[in-house]
């Protein structure tokens, strides 16, 4: 029995749907009157763009399994089975890019990403399969131990048997998002449902506005009594309703008059509202507006800085979640001492060509970068060691770092030798002294 069983006994199966691994309370109606779910939200172009940008960014980053070496060095553990699984193919049905893209999409929409860990008889990981977050619950048993319960479906790969399957934490790779209890994350879509619902309402209003011929609603006035008002209404709608009938000229008979009563979209600030909702959705996912097509406040002077901030403040926290979750779930206690996962974001932090070359020049001239270090960062072939590709140089005469003091030491030794020779020289004859004085005078 776990020593923490007594501490967590009160947090067993949650009774309130806003706690634990269930957040059904948040989905459904919004103040705008539109139902918001993870699937309806993806029909919004701004939500789809944000999810796609983050998912493709995480999926496209180079990810490697490293092993600690002597003296604090590190090397790629290409012979470890996990290296191939995460770098190339997590399972026979998908590539590493598709696997990470799928899990990142789940993480952004549901707040959690789950994958089933398939192990062989030795306990080694041989495959990883994504699991749908909306069918997964995380709870504690009577001893306070965590377990995962998954509701299977006919549309999935049959890696499980039974309709409801209980999985141990060692069988699940779980990447949680921002949450309240540290165990499960909560959906950004559910938390921001009112903002997304308003965006859906604005889009629907605009679509209906153009579907009705872009003509404000109004009243048909007749000086007498209309015997069949329904027929008149249908006749008007069939003649002037719809975008295909926009701007047609209406001919009114028997003194009939048309009076518009609706306000225009400009007066209702329709376009401004739609633009604000796009920025609101970008704020939910912490995406710079220029990355989803809003270049209003972007310029050549700040767009590069915004891109760097995207890597630092948006991608880095997600990368940390991935690295630490994989290390916790996929590595054994002994392997955690020697191995670690690492996403390489250096390619996204690279500046323009001139800035990179200036930075390389500073590193090369000050002795902390070799030619091969620079060529590796630029994805170029290495210079053979015998040709000096691994030499570290310093500014000045471009001397080897280990030989930096040789010339100074030799010059000092020569100077001391000259002084010693001068003090030990025997007095010359008078003629010699005279010649010496003349030479000195010259």
Residue 127, pLDDT above cutoff 90: yes
Q: Is 231 exposed, middle or buried (0-12, 13-18, 19+ CB in 10 A)?
A: exposed
pLDDT at 231: 73
Residues 228 and 369 in one domain: no
Q: Which two tokens stand for residue 343?
A: 């996403």
Residues 323 and 419 in one domain: no
Are 137 and 172 contacting, i.e. CB atoms less than 8 angstroms apart? no
Q: Coil, helix or strand for 63?
A: strand
Percent of the chain with pLDDT over 70: 65
Residues 17 and 150 in one domain: yes
Radius of gyration of the chain (CA): 36
Q: Which two tokens stand for residue 352?
A: 């323009």
What band does 245 get if pLDDT is binned at 50, 70 and 90? low
pLDDT at 304: 73
Percent of the chain with pLDDT over 90: 24
Q: What is the pTM (predicted TM-score) of this model?
A: 0.68
Question: Which residue segment(s) compose the domain that 392 sits in?
Answer: 353-404
Are 287 and 310 contacting, i.e. CB atoms less than 8 angstroms apart? yes
What band does 440 get if pLDDT is binned at 50, 70 and 90? very low
Of 338 and 252, the one with more pLDDT:
338
Of 54 and 212, the one with more pLDDT:
54
What band does 82 get if pLDDT is binned at 50, 70 and 90? very high
Residues 381 and 435 in one domain: no
Last residue of a domain, one of 231, 246, 261: 261
HSE-CB for 413 with a 13 A CA cutoff:
6
Residue 123, pLDDT above cutoff 50: yes
Residues 317 and 231 in one domain: no
Residues 420 and 363 in one domain: no
Residue 108, pLDDT above cutoff 70: yes
pLDDT digits (tens, 9 = 90+) for 12-57: 433 334 444 554 445 456 666 778 888 888 888 889 999 999 999 9
pLDDT at 295: 73
Residues 100 and 245 in one domain: no
Q: Which two tokens stand for residue 127?
A: 């495959």
Q: Do strands 112-119 and 172-176 pair parallel, antiparallel, or not at all (unpaired)?
A: antiparallel
- The β-bridge partners of 151 are 164
Residues 273 and 224 in one domain: no
Of 265 and 291, the one with more pLDDT:
291
Residue 292, pLDDT above cutoff 50: yes
pLDDT at 17: 45
Instruction: Please state which of the ranges 93-97, 152-156, 345-349, 361-365 shows the lowest mean pLDDT.
Output: 152-156
Residues 196 and 275 in one domain: yes
CA pair distance 200, 190, nearest whole angstrom: 14
Total domains present in the chain:
4
pLDDT at 418: 66
Q: Which two tokens stand for residue 145?
A: 């131990």
Residue 430, pLDDT above cutoff 60: no
User: Of 1, 6, 39, 57, whose CA–CA distance to 291 is shortest?
Assistant: 57
Residue 318, pLDDT above cutoff 70: yes
Residue 130, pLDDT above cutoff 90: yes
Residues 56 and 172 in one domain: yes
Of 215 and 370, the one with more pLDDT:
370
Instruction: Please state which of the ranges 75-79, 117-121, 197-201, 286-290 shows the lowest mean pLDDT.
Output: 197-201
Residues 190 and 87 in one domain: yes
Residues 57 and 87 in one domain: yes
pLDDT averaged over the chain?
76
User: Of 86, 143, 51, 34, whose CA–CA distance to 331 is shortest?
Assistant: 86
């Amino acid at each position: 029995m776990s020593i923490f069983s007594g501490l967590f006994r009160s947090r067993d199966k949650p009774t309130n749907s806003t706690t634990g691994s269930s957040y059904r309370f948040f989905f459904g109606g919004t103040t705008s009157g539109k139902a918001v779910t993870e699937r309806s939200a993806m029909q919004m172009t701004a939500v789809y763009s944000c999810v796609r940008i983050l998912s493709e960014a995480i999926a496209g980053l180079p990810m490697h399994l490293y092993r600690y070496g002597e003296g604090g060095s590190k090397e790629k553990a290409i012979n470890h089975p996990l290296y191939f699984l995460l770098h190339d193919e997590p399972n026979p049905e998908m590539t590493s890019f598709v696997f990470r893209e799928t899990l990142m999409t789940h993480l952004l929409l549901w707040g959690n990403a789950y994958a089933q860990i398939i192990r062989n008889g030795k306990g080694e990981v041989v495959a990883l399969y994504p699991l749908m977050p909306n069918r997964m619950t995380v709870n504690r048993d009577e001893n306070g131990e965590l377990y995962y319960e998954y509701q299977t479906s006919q549309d999935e790969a049959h890696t499980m048997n039974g309709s409801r399957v209980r999985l141990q934490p060692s069988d699940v790779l779980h990447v949680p998002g921002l949450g309240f209890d540290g165990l499960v994350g909560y959906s950004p879509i559910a938390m921001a449902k009112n903002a997304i619902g308003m965006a859906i309402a604005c889009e629907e209003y605009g679509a209906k506005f153009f579907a009705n011929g872009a003509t404000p609603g109004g009243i048909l006035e007749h000086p007498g009594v209309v015997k069949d008002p329904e027929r008149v209404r249908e006749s008007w709608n069939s003649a002037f309703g719809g975008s295909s009938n926009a701007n047609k000229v209406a001919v009114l008979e028997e003194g009939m008059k048309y009076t518009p009563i609706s306000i225009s979209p400009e007066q209702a600030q329709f376009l401004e509202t739609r633009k604000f909702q796009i920025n609101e959705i970008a704020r939910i996912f912490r995406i710079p507006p220029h990355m989803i097509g809003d270049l209003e406040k972007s310029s050549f002077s700040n767009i590069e800085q915004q891109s760097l901030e995207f890597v630092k403040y948006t991608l880095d926290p997600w990368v940390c979640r991935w690295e630490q979750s994989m290390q916790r779930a996929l590595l054994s206690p002994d392997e955690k001492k020697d191995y670690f996962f690492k996403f390489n974001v250096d390619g996204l932090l690279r500046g323009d060509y001139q800035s990179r070359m200036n930075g390389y020049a500073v590193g090369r001239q000050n002795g902390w970068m070799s030619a091969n270090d620079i060529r590796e960062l630029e994805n170029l072939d290495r210079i053979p060691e015998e040709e000096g590709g691994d030499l570290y140089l310093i500014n000045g005469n471009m001397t080897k770092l280990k030989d930096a003091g040789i010339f100074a030491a030799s010059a000092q030794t020569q100077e001391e030798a000259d002084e010693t020779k001068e003090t030990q020289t025997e007095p010359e004859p008078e003629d010699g002294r005279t010649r010496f004085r003349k030479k000195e005078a010259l």
